[in-house]
Structure 1
Amino acid sequence: MKRILITGAAGFLGSHLCDRFIADGYYVIGMDNLITGDLKNIEHLFKHANFEFYHHDVTKFVYVPGNLDYILHFASPASPIDYLKIPIQTLKVGSLGTHNLLGLAREKNARILIASTSEVYGDPLVHPQTEDYYGNVNTIGPRGVYDEAKRFQESITMAYHRYHGVETRIVRIFNTYGPRMRLNDGRVIPAFIGQALRGEDLTVFGDGLQTRSFCYVDDQVEGIYRLLHSDYVHPVNIGNPHEITIRDFAEEIIKLTGTTQKVIYKPLPVNDPLQRQPDITRAKEILGWEPKIDRAQGMQLTLDYFKSLSKEELYKSEHKDFSSFNRK
C-alpha cells in the first residue's frame, strides 16, 4: 500500500485530497496545526483504518515513522483575512515548512508536490497567465507575505530537485471553490454566498471589473492527482480558464440564491489583482487535464453545502485568536 503525507490536511483543499487518496487505496497521513484548518473537515476519516492524523506545525522539525512514497505540501493560510493577520507564520510555512518537508522527502526518497498559487503572478501584466510569466509582485506590500512565500517555495523546491535529485512537482492553483470552504474567510465565493444567505448586501471591492476564474474542487483535485503521477517537474497551472468579472459574478450569486439584496462597492485593497485567468495549455498537453464541472453546476453544489450549515455557523465570526502565532 502506498503511503502519502498530506500537510494542511484539515483545510478545504487538503481534506478533499485526503478523501481522494483514501478512495484510491492509499494510506494517508494527515498533518495540520489547525491554525486555519478544522478537524470537522476530516473527522469522517478518523474511523478509517488507512488514515492517521498528526497535530503538528510543519515549521518545526517534521518526523513521520515508516516509509513514505509521496508528500503533498498544502499547509499555508490561503485567504487574505488569514495571511494578513499572521504574516510571519505565512512566510515561515512557505520557507521553513517547505524546507523541512523537502528534507523529509529526500530522507524518505519520496516524491513531493508543492502547492503554489496563481498569486505568484501578482497583479499580472500578461493575460491570461502562462507558467513562463515571471509575475508582477510588490515584495513589500501587504500581500507580499503570501506571494513571496509561494515564490520562495517554488525556488527552493527546484533547488532540491536540481541539487539533491529530489522528485518534485509544483502546482499553481487558481481560485478553487466547493464544499468545506470557510464561510467568512474573505474569499469571493464564500463571502458572497454568506452575505446572500444572511440577507446582507453583497460587497464588491473596486469597480467590480476585475476578473477571476473559478475551478470546482473536484476538478482541482483531479489535476493535482495527475500532476503528482506525471513525470513533469516544472510548474503547471491548474484552474478553470472561464473568466468572469466580480460585478457579474455578484449578480450570478443573487440570482442563484434568489435573494433581493443589492451590490455595494468599497475601495479595492492594495495590490489586489485586476485580472486572473489561467492558461492551461500545459495541463492539457502534459496531463490530459481540463475542468469538467461548469460554474452553474459547481455553484449549486457549493450553495447546497452552505445552506446545510447551522444558523450558528452561518453567523459565526472568523476572528480567530492568532496571538500565539504572531509572537513567534
Structure 2
Amino acid sequence: MAGRAVVVGVGHYLPERVVPNSEFEATLDTSDEWIRTRSGIERRHFAAEGETTSDLATYAAEAALKDAGLTADDIDAIILATSTADLTFPSAATMVQARLGMTGGFAFDVQAVCAGFVYALANANALILSGQARRVLVIGAETFSRIMDWSDRSTCVLFGDGAGAVILEAREGKGTPQDRGILSTDLNSDGRYKDLLYVDGGVSTQNTGYLRMQGNQVFRHAVDKLAKTAETALEKAGLTSADIDWIVPHQANIRIIQGTAKKMGLSMDHVVVTVQDHGNTSAASIPLALSVGKARGQIKQGDLIVTEAIGGGLAWGAVVLRW
C-alpha cells in the first residue's frame, strides 16, 4: 500500500467585472482581432477596487470546501500560490486561514509566478506523504491587474484576476499508476532567464513596479520546457502521453497550449482550455481550469490529468494526477 494525496474538492472564483478586448481599443493601439489572434484571449476579469488577492482566494477556498463537504476545521494546512499578495507580510494564506475561521494548522504562500500552483501542489503532496498534514487546501490566486503598465499593449491585454482551489486528502493507494491522487511531480527553474519576465520593482528596491515581458523569448522557451517537464513527470509515474485523458495547462496563450499539445502528440480534444474567458491569471489559471473543467463535465473521477506551467524565474514544472 502507498499513501496518495487525492483531490476531494475543487472550486473557483472570478471577480464580477468582465473586461472584453474591445475595452482596450479606446486607450491603446490594439484591437479585439489583434489580441484574439495572438493570444486566444477574448475577455478577462478584473478585481473591484478594494478587492484583494486574499478575498478572491477565500471565495475559491469556500467553494472547494463546499464541493468536498468539509469545513475549515477539517483542514490541516493552506498553501496559497501567488505573486500578488495583499501585503508584504503576513502571507495571504494566513489571511485566508483567519477568514475561513480555521484556528489550527498552518498556512503559507508559495511564489513561483505562473508555475506557482504546480509548485504548491508538489509541496502539498510532500506534506501529505511525509505525514505532516492529512488535508491540505491548495489555492492559486492573483490580482495581476494591479501590476500592469496600462500603456504597454504587449502585456496589459494578456492578464486577468481570479482564484482557484483544490483540497488534497491523504488516502491509501496500491502504489500503481491506477491510484487516484498525485502520481508524480517535476519542478524546475533557471534564474539566468530573469529578464524575460519580471516585475521591475519590489520591497527591497522600494518601488512597486510593473510587469515586464519579452513575449517572443518566453514563447520560445515555453513549448519546449512544458512538453519536457510533462514527459518527465509522466515517466516518473510510469505512464506515457497515450494514457492522458486531459492536459490542464497554464492558460497563458492559446498558441503555447496548442504547441505543447502537438509536441506531446495529443489533439486539442484532450486539453481543457479557459484562456479565452480568463486571460492569463498566473498561479490561479490551473486551479481555475480544473474547477471549470469539472463543472463543464469534462473532468471525471478516474481521469488521468497532466498540469504544466511556466512563469517568471524562469520556473516551470508539471504534476501528474488521477482525479
- TM-score computed with the length of structure 2 as normaliser: 0.25
Q: Which one scores higher on RCO, CA 8 angstroms, separation ≥ 6?
A: 2
- TM-score computed with the length of structure 1 as normaliser: 0.25
Structure ranking higher in strand proportion:
2
